[in-house]
């Protein structure tokens, strides 16, 4: 069972959630976007939110800023979260204005808010489940898209809820987080996305 829950943690890792959000946005959105724009967005987001953070994590581990890739220590989260904050800000300022999709802009603004909240908590030695923050934020964004475009997202939402349940179970099974840390993570993911709804719904 351990390999299964580790696989869940890897597949639904927080760094994958922005790309999942972009993929689902283009799948759900009824507005036409050219294949060129979609592919450019996928590649750019994948590089900035997955490849760059992975390379940075390897460098930080090599120079012993991180004890392990799980970043189990709250203090060790500060630098990676700060770097991720800069990456998300770069996406907001440089990439998304060229795409002209308000939904994605506010999705990433919500991600910025969640990252900032996690960073502040890490400074004060509070450890939230960033896995739950990521998937909860994604789920709230999809709910917003369903309301915004008045489309039935019941099946997709059900799948995301099941995925969130597996993620929570995996974090508990692997003893990576407590119940309280999972709840804090869920709130940290949902609230920033919810606060952006007033600007684009």
pLDDT band at 99 (very low <50, low <70, confident <90, very high): confident
**Residue range 8-39, pLDDT digits in tens:** 999 999 999 999 999 999 999 999 999 999 99
One-character DSSP codes across 114-173: HHHHHHHHHHTT----HHHHHHHHHHHHHHHHHHHHT---HHHHHHHHHHHHHHHHHHHH
Interhelix angle 179-200/154-173, rounded to 10 degrees, is 150
> Is 80 exceeded by the pLDDT of residue 128?
yes
* Full DSSP string of 99-114: HT-HHHHHHHHHHHHH
Residue showing tokens 């407590």? 178
Q: What is the pLDDT of residues 66-84, one digit of tens each?
A: 877 777 777 899 999 999 9
* Contacts of 29 by beta carbon, 8 Å cutoff, 6+ apart: 101, 103, 145, 149
pLDDT at 69: 76
Contacts of 22 (CB under 8 A, 6+ apart): 41, 42, 45, 104
What pLDDT sits at residue 65?
85
pLDDT band at residue 186, thresholds of 50, 70 and 90? very high
**How large is the average pLDDT for residues 153-172?**
96
User: What predicted TM-score, i.e. pTM, was given to this entire model?
Assistant: 0.95
> CA–CA separation, 50 vs 38, rounded Å?
17
């Amino acid at each position: 069972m351990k390999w299964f829950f580790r696989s869940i943690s890897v597949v639904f890792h927080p760094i994958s959630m922005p790309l999942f959000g972009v993929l689902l946005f283009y799948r759900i959105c009824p507005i036409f976007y050219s294949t060129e724009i979609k592919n450019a967005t996928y590649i750019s987001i994948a590089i900035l939110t997955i490849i760059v953070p992975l390379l940075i994590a390897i460098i930080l581990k090599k120079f012993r800023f991180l004890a392990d890739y799980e970043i189990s220590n709250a203090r060790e989260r500060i630098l990676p979260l700060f770097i991720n904050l800069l990456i998300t800000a770069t996406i907001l300022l440089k990439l998304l204005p060229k795409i002209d999709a308000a939904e994605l802009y506010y999705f990433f603004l919500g991600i910025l808010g969640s990252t900032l909240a996690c960073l502040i908590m890490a400074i004060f030695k509070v450890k939230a489940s960033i896995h739950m923050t990521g998937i909860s934020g994604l789920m709230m964004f999809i709910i917003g898209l369903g309301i915004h475009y008045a489309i039935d997202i019941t099946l997709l939402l059900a799948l995301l809820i099941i995925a969130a349940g597996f993620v929570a179970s995996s974090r508990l099974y692997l003893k990576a987080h407590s119940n309280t840390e999972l709840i804090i993570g869920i709130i940290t993911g949902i609230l920033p996305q919810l606060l952006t709804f007033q600007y684009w719904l």
